[in-house]
Amino acid sequence: MNEDIYPRTRLTFYIKGNDSKLYISKQTDLWRYIQFVNKQGWGLFEINYQTKVRNEHLVLVFENKLITRGNLILDDILIRPTDQNILFQDSNFYYFNNRYYAKKSNQ
């Protein structure tokens, strides 16, 4: 996001039906859902999405035709039920629903 002062990435949700066709379910601009941007330009966005049919296949398409340099990079995606929290840790951080918190050192 650091190359894009006003984030212009568009997200389209498609549902893949039983007939293997893709149907547009929702289109939106990511800037509406940004929760946090760090000093390195990485941003966290969160979107609530209501499934439409049982066992649906969801296809997410991110598009930004105005990026003038660099690439649009998406990593650390987390899809979870709204009422379920995800918590894990490594040697340096606690992670809670894709947010991370540094562990305090004992020094």
17-58 pLDDT per residue, tens: 777 778 777 888 888 888 888 787 777 888 887 777 777 888
Tell me the CA distances in angstroms from 101 to 37, 62, 82, 91, one per residue in order: 15, 27, 21, 11
Tell me the CA distances in angstroms from 75 to 8, 42, 78, one per residue in order: 18, 10, 9
Tell me the CA distances in angstroms from 64 to 10, 21, 105, one per residue in order: 6, 24, 41
Is the pTM higher than 0.85? The answer reads no
Which amino acid type is present at position 35? Q
The domain spans of the chain are: 10-82
Please say whether the beta carbons of 67 and 4 come within 8 A.
yes
DSSP state for residue 19 in the 8-state scheme: T
pLDDT at 4: 54
Mean pLDDT score of the chain: 80
pLDDT at 2: 52
- % of the chain exceeding 70 in pLDDT: 92
Positions of E strands within 6-56: 10-16, 22-29, 34-37, 43-45
